Amino acid sequence: MIKVMIVGQKWLAEQLLKRCIDMGDIEVVLVSVPCLDDRTAILADRLAIPVATHGKTLVASAVPDGIDVILMAHAYCFVGANARAKARLGAIGYHPSLLPAHKGKTAIADAFNAGDAVTGGSLYQLDDGWDTGMVIDQAIIKIDNNDTIKSLWQDKLAPLGLLLFENYLKSIRYDI
């Protein structure tokens, strides 16, 4: 059984929580959200999964003992080294760009406004920087003429992040 903590919000974190439950061999030990009225918190509460809130930094005392990995899904908080060290495999985050290109909160808009023909998503190991950790997996998507910044996220990049998380979780099944 893989034990995870999900940190995040909105559609991506909610869908990641659902996917973890559907996979069957994953125990979501804790969900951490920026606010308790987030859809992820509401779902976790309905599933009797403990919910906590976090601020701009996820500290070690907020990470449960005995977890395998922290999954960062649409999370805008820094995870300190002591917090990452509490999870056997550290913290894994999804970023909606082909890292190292387009770091930060405006990555989708940056790719769109730069006129990039392609962009993508990166699953990476969090470190002490912002969007600077070792890339674990990436996938490319095409930016079509009818795309908008919103459609890139909703229709392409967010679902891609969910797929990358699922592939990662499947890949660590045999490491646990």
pLDDT score for 176: 57
Number of domains in the chain: 1
Q: Domain containing 73: what range?
A: 2-175
DSSP letter assigned to residue 64: P
User: For residue 84, what pLDDT is reported?
Assistant: 98
- Kindly list the distances between the CA atom of residue 79 and the CA atoms of 19, 69, 88, 94, 140, in Å, as whole numbers in the listed order: 23, 12, 14, 14, 26
**CA nearest to 92, candidates 106, 72, 78, 110:** 72
Banded pLDDT at 151 (limits 50, 70, 90): very high
Mean residue pLDDT of the chain comes to 95
The mean pLDDT of 150-167, rounded to a whole number, is 96
Helices (H), ranges, 24-157: 39-46, 81-85, 107-113, 149-151
Model confidence pLDDT, tens digit, residues 4-37: 999 999 999 999 999 999 998 999 999 999 999 9
Give the CATH number of the domain where residue 140 resides: 3.40.50.170
pLDDT at 175: 66
Overall pTM > 0.85: yes
Of 18, 23, 16, which Cα lies nearest the Cα of 2? 23
CB-CB contact of 63 with 87 (8 Å): yes
Tell me the per-residue pLDDT of 34-90, one tens digit each, with 9 for 90 and over: 999 999 999 999 999 999 999 999 999 999 999 999 999 999 999 999 999 999 999
Residues of the chain with pLDDT > 70, as a percent, come to 98
